[in-house]
Structure 1
Amino acid sequence: MSKKQLFSLEYPVRCSPTILYEFLATSSGLQEWFADKVDDHDGVFSFSWNGSEDTAEVVAHEEEHFIRFHWSHAPVEEFFEFAIEKSEVTNQTILVIKDFAEKRDIKDQSMLWDHQVKDLFHRLGN
């Protein structure tokens, strides 16, 4: 059993769910902010960063709502997910990222996501 635990991060976004989903669920969109190079073959995405490569399979998705990936090297119960929610109070679009990390690494992993999302927001003009 994995020692990693699930954690979630929320980011308010100023764009439509349709546009945001394209950046989260397509190889061209993910390549804009998530990795140096992204390829997609039948639901299996290859991500490259600074010469290293990893693959993740899309295990679940709903257009304009969420996409869940499973890293090829990770235990079956682990995933990372991008979800798009609407605040009922403000009607604002919220990007929710779910990921797994060991308890001692959650802060560092959250900072890494913050950095990645900052790049995404730059691309979106936020």
Structure 2
Amino acid sequence: MLKDRYAIDYYEASLKFRLQGPGLRLQEEEEEEKEQEDQEEKEEEEEEDQEEKEEEEDQEEKEEEDQEEEEQEEEEDQEEDQEEEGEDQEEEEDQEEEEDQEEEEDQEEEDQEE
């Protein structure tokens, strides 16, 4: 009895397979291929998105470095300008002192001559 049941199940399965024929198998294969292509496409898109994200991060990092470099150069320029101003001011003060001293000496000479 059990053998008969297995035989009937086998017969039904083989009959169903023959009735479906190669068309169903082709359809299943096509669906599998499409799913695989979709998966590959999705992976490629994710890869491209990741690359774009990395490029954006690199660009932002480069811009930040450029900004820092520019700020540092401006700071150095300001320091140099301040040093030059300080030196110029010292020179002016020295020159004024010399002129004052010369005037004093001239005045003393005039006083002595009188």
- Shorter-chain TM-score tier: under 0.3
Q: TM-score, normalised by structure 1?
A: 0.18
Pick the structure with more strand per residue: 1
- TM-score norm. by structure 2 comes to 0.20
Q: Report which of the two structures shows the higher radius of gyration computed on alpha carbons.
A: 2
User: Relative to total residues, which structure has the larger helix share, 1 or 2?
Assistant: 2
